[in-house]
Amino acid sequence: MPHDQQRRHEVAAPATVQLNHTAVYATDRQLSAEFIAAVLGLRVGAPFGPFLPVDLGNGVTLDYYEKRDEPIQSQHYAFLVPDDRFSAMVARLETLGVTYYADPRHTEPHQINRLFGGRGVYFADPDGHNMEIMTRPYVRP
């Protein structure tokens, strides 16, 4: 293939490092994917091999992957969400009967934190992953 034709088939590399996807272990990938999609107001995509993706709309997907033979190790996933959609997400948690908390240790139930001038809550998904929705990113030194 001539060099100029080869270049047309290459995909440009991003200028910065970006997260593209991450695998989220679940005992039931359908249940867990539908849960987070419902809370965030998103859709579950078509299966991709062993993965069931939830596209976050920013070029990042959560690829739910079933692990049934061993316990699921709890992880933390934090989602920066638009301020005007936050209240609807909290309402969906309430509709689903999911307790949300102002803190990551889950000691302040049914409360919203106001960190960095925004709003945020933590909640557990069906496998115990500690999920967080927040409207402002954390200010880091």
pLDDT at 68: 86
SS3 content of the chain, % helix, strand, coil (to 5): 25, 25, 50
Confidence of residue 6 (pLDDT cuts 50, 70, 90): low
The tokens 């927040």 sit on which residue?
A: 134
The model carries a pTM of: 0.88
- Which strands make up the sheet holding 120-124, listed edge to edge? 76-80, 130-134, 120-124
Query: What are 58's two structure tokens?
Result: 């920013």
Rounded Cα distance between 95 and 49, Å, is 32
Helix segments in the chain, DSSP class H? 3-9, 29-40, 83-95
Query: What are 63's two structure tokens?
Result: 């690829």
What is the per-residue pLDDT across 11-62, written as a single tens digit (0 to 9) for each? 777 688 999 999 999 999 999 999 999 999 999 999 999 999 999 999 999 9
pLDDT at 74: 96
Rounded Cα distance between 136 and 34, Å, is 25
